[in-house]
Amino acid sequence: MSTIPPVPPPLPTPEITPVNQSNVFPCPDLIAFLNYCKCIDLCKWACDYPELWEMCNTYSFCLKKPPFQYKYMRFESISQVGPTCGLAALSMLVNGEVTADDIMKISKEEGYTNNGEMLSCKHMSMLAAKVFGLAKFNKIQCSLGIDGLNNSDVIEKLLNGAILLVPYDADFNHSPCLKKGHTAHWAIVCGILIVDDPSNSHESSNNIYVLCKHGKSKYLAAWTLKDLSESNSNLWEFSPKKLAEGLTYVIPEGDIGGENGLRNQFLILEGF
């Protein structure tokens, strides 16, 4: 006759020691990684470009649905040194193959700048042609825009892959503002995002955003096309405060608000 062995007594419950999360996840990029994991389900349209999903989270764009239309081209950030925002932006456009320091030398030789300032879109256009030639970016076509940023022609060009090089007034956080040109700055517009179908949008001015990079931040910025256009159109005069500091700047005839300056002007670059 067989005997069934008795059921063994349960094992003692092990003592659980609280886990120090900082020891388990020492990675400093944990928050960014978790944000990415969260975004990957909500914002799949942007996941090919980390900077796009980061911008998506920052500005709360298209978190539940993709944008109606968008176009974006990635450029690596290059930080400016001193008042060289335009030169740093131009170097970004050629992936640093011509450095901002080299562009500074060229612009000084051509008489476009003394300290790195670029206060004429016409000069910037001629400088860009030289830089693209040196970098062997021979397919790039550069033209001067003079009819304002916020129009259908500019939007169509951006959607077709054009890049803009735009002067504007920069606020304390580098976003566009209206200070009569006293804080003039340069940025590249490397993309456009239309949130909703314009025919269904009741606030078209807040529906179209441009994706921008500049020499004072490594992050991709998103500003309304309307705000950037208005800022570009208010560049009337070079900063009196900077003039009072004693440095000599190359200021075009008629100041930056004249036809040889910055106001209502920008560069359109096609062929990237």
- Whether residue 7 is contained in a domain is answered as no
Same domain, 37 and 155: no
Same domain, 248 and 210: yes
pLDDT of res. 64: 76
Angstrom distance (rounded) from CA 251 to CA 261: 8
Cβ–Cβ < 8 Å for 251, 130: no
Cβ–Cβ < 8 Å for 222, 61: yes
Same domain, 38 and 93: no
- In tens digits, the chain (272 residues) has pLDDT values of 445 555 555 544 444 333 333 333 333 444 554 455 555 555 677 778 888 888 888 888 777 788 999 999 999 999 999 999 999 999 999 999 999 999 999 999 999 999 999 999 999 999 999 999 999 999 999 999 998 999 999 999 999 999 999 999 999 999 999 999 999 999 999 999 999 988 876 566 789 999 999 999 999 999 999 999 999 999 999 999 999 998 999 999 999 999 999 999 999 999 99
Same domain, 94 and 155: yes
pLDDT of res. 147: 82
Same domain, 76 and 145: yes
Same domain, 161 and 47: no
- Whether residue 161 is contained in a domain is answered as yes
Angstrom distance (rounded) from CA 177 to CA 265: 16
Q: What is the pTM of this model?
A: 0.84
Cβ–Cβ < 8 Å for 62, 195: yes
CATH classification of the domain holding 237: 3.90.70
* Coil/strand/helix, residue 266: strand
Q: Which of 43, 65, 87 is the C-terminal boundary of a domain?
A: 65
Q: Which residues are catalytic?
A: 85
Structural domain that includes position 216: 67-270
Cβ–Cβ < 8 Å for 167, 183: no
DSSP string, 174-233: SSEE-STTTTEEEEEEEEEEE-S-TTT-S-GGGTEEEEEEETTEEEEEEEEHHHHHHHHT
Same domain, 60 and 114: no
- Whether residue 22 is contained in a domain is answered as no
